[in-house]
Amino acid sequence: MSSLLESYIERGYDFGMAYAYLRCYWNHSNTIEDWWHMYEEDDRKRRRKVIVDNKITKRDMPPRRIWDLYANRVVPYWVAPKDWHAISHAWVDVKERVDVWTPINGYEWPVPVPEDTNLKLIRTEMLNLGAEYVWLDVLCLRQEYAIREAHREEDLRKEDLRKEEWKLDVPTIGYVYDKKRKVVCYLSGLGRPLSFKEGDFESDRCWFNRAWTLQEIPNGSDLLIGGDTSDDRFMEEKMQTRIHEKLKSLRRVRSFATTFDIMLLMRNRVSTKPLDKVAGLTYLFNAESIPIYDGAQSEEDAWMALVDVMQSSKRAELFFYYPGPGNGNRSWRPSWEQAMSYTLPWCNMEHNTGYVRWIKETDSDWYNGPRIDTIYVYGLANPSDSPRQGKLLFEENTRGSCACKIVADHTYPIPNGWYTIISISEGFTLSDRIWVVGQLRRDGKFEKVSVISLADKEEKLKHWGLRVKRRVHTVLC
């Protein structure tokens, strides 16, 4: 034991850090040092190998650091033998917070906290809630701070380290709050008493309006309210009721959300950096692999990287239920600007839309499903009518022509003319709910124009017997 303690002294560990490493392992003092070397090396290899071609191949990566409340020190997550509580909070305005240099995180970076609270109070409340290990972003996620001239070289090195760590640590924050972990929400600011009054729900600083907190809503796990004093002097009963109703609604959406549900929630939220709204969606879309965080990216580039790795079924939702062509680098799905300005699907969504897949090697997107290459659409050119009704005229090999009444309950114009249509796949029968209208380019790729559906039940019955002979592998542009 004495040699082990001496090695910690040589590394500059104070008593709190040494205690954090040893307090759960007193009976293994002869072997614990070998364990630490092995765990540290395994963790280093895992974090290095998990990033491939700017993609994180394993979304359920544990956090890099954890706050040991008993020792009051931040340690590597692999030191903690138990699961952790996670703290979610609304960042207060920069004018209302102070940067604190503290031994808790080894003075690695200044910890931003509201000026009317402190880490000691937060630690005490978390201990009273039964927590032993906690993940708190300001302590466990390396923070940005102004370069100090007296420590310029050191601070520049730490800033480079932060950028490197954030590539992995920021996109995987959602995992910290997932898997039925206990989440403590400070809705009025980190460490502050719960206090809401009229107008607070509309504030940009409100917990319910921040982009990052959307992924911090626990899905199926306990949610505890931090700073809840149960004192009516801090908050009226109607405010308490409204808070619990909003939390209940958000948890329900998290459990059953479609792509458009999630985008609508994000659309109405704010972030300090515009890019962070895209990053805040990364974990919510449940992709097997996720893009790294690159602070130099534009929102559109980050959105493109995210759509590339989304589940194929969620990509199909963008294809079939966004009513117009994308105005970015793809026509088959909305750009980031469009996603944040028009996020409601134009009709009720099917349970199964099929799959729009992405081929990494060729950076191409494709859909395999029923397609009619030549069909005439008319009556939907004027976007002022809502809903607009028109007709779909197509030739049948044995029965002559057939016309179906169609509707477009959105404002994207579809000029009269010949088009190709792609349907949601239901066996080999065209779906009676929704078709994508577009043009086949000379290179064979499908360029989306808009979406339509049949007008009523009578038209659906007329259409029911119409069958398409083949599924077609269609490359989208």
How far apart, in whole angstroms, are the C-alpha atoms of residue 473 and residue 458?
Answer: 31
Which of residues 295 and 404 earns the better pLDDT score?
295
pLDDT at residue 396 in the model: 54
Return phi, psi of residue 210, to 5°.
-90, 140
How far apart, in whole angstroms, are the C-alpha atoms of residue 460 and residue 408?
Answer: 15
Work out the pLDDT band at 231, boundaries 50, 70, 90. Answer: low
pLDDT of residue 429 exceeding 60: no
Average pLDDT, the chain: 88
pLDDT at residue 398 in the model: 42
Question: Could you read off the pLDDT of 197-219 as tens digits, one per residue?
Answer: 888 999 999 999 999 999 998 77
Question: Could you read off the pLDDT of 4-18 as tens digits, one per residue?
Answer: 777 778 778 899 998
Q: Worst-scoring range by mean pLDDT, 81-90, 131-140, 238-247?
A: 238-247
Strands 133-135 and 65-68: antiparallel
In this structure, are residues 406 and 380 in contact, taking their beta carbons and an 8 Å threshold?
A: yes
Angle formed at CA 472 by CA 457 and CA 407, multiple of 5 degrees: 25
Residue type, 107: Y
How far apart, in whole angstroms, are the C-alpha atoms of residue 371 and residue 374?
Answer: 9
pLDDT of residue 348 exceeding 70: no
In sequence order, what DSSP letters do the residues of 4-39 get, joined into one string? HHHHHHHTT--HHHHHHHHTT-GGGTTTHHHHHHHH
Q: What is the DSSP letter of 384?
A: T
pLDDT at residue 399 in the model: 46
pLDDT of residue 101 exceeding 90: yes
pLDDT of residue 176 exceeding 70: yes
Which of residues 461 and 181 earns the better pLDDT score?
181
Q: Worst-scoring range by mean pLDDT, 48-52, 91-95, 357-361, 456-460?
A: 456-460
In this structure, are residues 80 and 68 in contact, taking their beta carbons and an 8 Å threshold?
A: yes
**Cα 149–chain centre separation:** 37
Work out the pLDDT band at 1, boundaries 50, 70, 90. Answer: low
